[in-house]
Amino acid sequence: MLTAEQLAFRRGDEWLFQNVNFSVRPGQLLWLRGQNGRGKTSLLRIIVGLTPPDHGALRWTTTTPPEATDATDAVQPLTYISHTNGLKDDLTVSESLHFLAQLHGQDSSPDSIAKALRQLSIHHRSNLPVRTLSQGQRRRVALARLALGQDASLWVLDEPFDTLDQDGIHIVNSLIEAHLARQGSVILTSHLPLNLSGVQINTLDLHEVSA
């Protein structure tokens, strides 16, 4: 279980959020909500260890000793996909996904890359340069990492449905549902309503957190 205790973060002299507390257990989804500029992306970056909080701590609780450790010290597999896709324009679609998979320690074998692209219905573009893709197609390539990350216990997704059409949204929803059924966990932001089958959605609204 991942637990946040009294997290706070500021930009300059302004507190984006304070007193943020939550926990995410295996099989649970946390929908992080809030107005633009409230700090949703900053909170996600804190969760994955890219940005330190100004106050508070993140802790992993496991079934084996130690009972609780700092998230920065714990070795916990996670997949983080930011609102930027991180693709290289001059690489082909397959090469870009291969690069991302290697960078994040995921399965980068040719068969796995091809299977992941097919699962996101972008395999027909696999040999084309990324620069030729639409924004929605680029998002599918970035999200194909979810088809490679089935061993990750936690998925942290920043606006995963952004620029996707209804078919793309359905594919990503299916991946999330399957991950939760495997007792994985998901923390995400989305300005679109969530439409997940058989999933209990917990919400944390940063607008309602004192700042």
> Could you read off the pLDDT of 165-186 as tens digits, one per residue?
999 999 999 999 999 999 999 9
Size of the chain in residues:
211
d(CA 9, CA 80): 20
CB 172 within 8 A of CB 160: yes
d(CA 44, CA 178): 22
Buried b (16+ CB within 10 A) or exposed e, 67-94: eebebeebeeebbbbbeebebeeebbbb
Q: Average pLDDT in the 182-211 region?
A: 90
Residue 126: per-residue pLDDT:
97
Q: Average pLDDT in the 29-43 region?
A: 93
The answer to whether domain 1-76+185-211 has CATH 3.40.50.300 is yes
Q: Average pLDDT in the 36-44 region?
A: 92
In Å, how far are 6, 15, 37, 199 from 12, measured between CA atoms? 19, 8, 13, 38
Residue 167: per-residue pLDDT:
98
Residue 133: per-residue pLDDT:
98
Residue 73 has pLDDT above 70, yes or no: no
* Cis peptide leading into residue 26 (ω within 30°): no
The strand pair at 68-70 and 55-61 is best described as antiparallel
Among 77-81, 125-129, 142-146, 153-157, where is mean pLDDT lowest? 77-81
Residue 210: per-residue pLDDT:
55
pLDDT band with cut points at 50, 70 and 90 for residue 158: very high
Residue 150 has pLDDT above 80, yes or no: no
pLDDT band with cut points at 50, 70 and 90 for residue 152: confident
In sequence order, what are the beta bridge partners of 185? 154
Q: H helices within 3-151, ranges in order?
A: 40-47, 93-103, 110-119, 135-143
pLDDT band with cut points at 50, 70 and 90 for residue 46: very high
Q: Where are the beta strands (DSSP E) in 36-194?
A: 55-61, 68-70, 78-81, 154-158, 185-189
d(CA 58, CA 46): 9
pLDDT band with cut points at 50, 70 and 90 for residue 140: very high
The strand pair at 29-33 and 185-189 is best described as parallel
Burial of 110 (0-12, 13-18, 19+ CB in 10 A): exposed
Q: Average pLDDT in the 46-60 region?
A: 95
Q: What are phi and psi of 74, to 5 degrees?
A: -80, 145
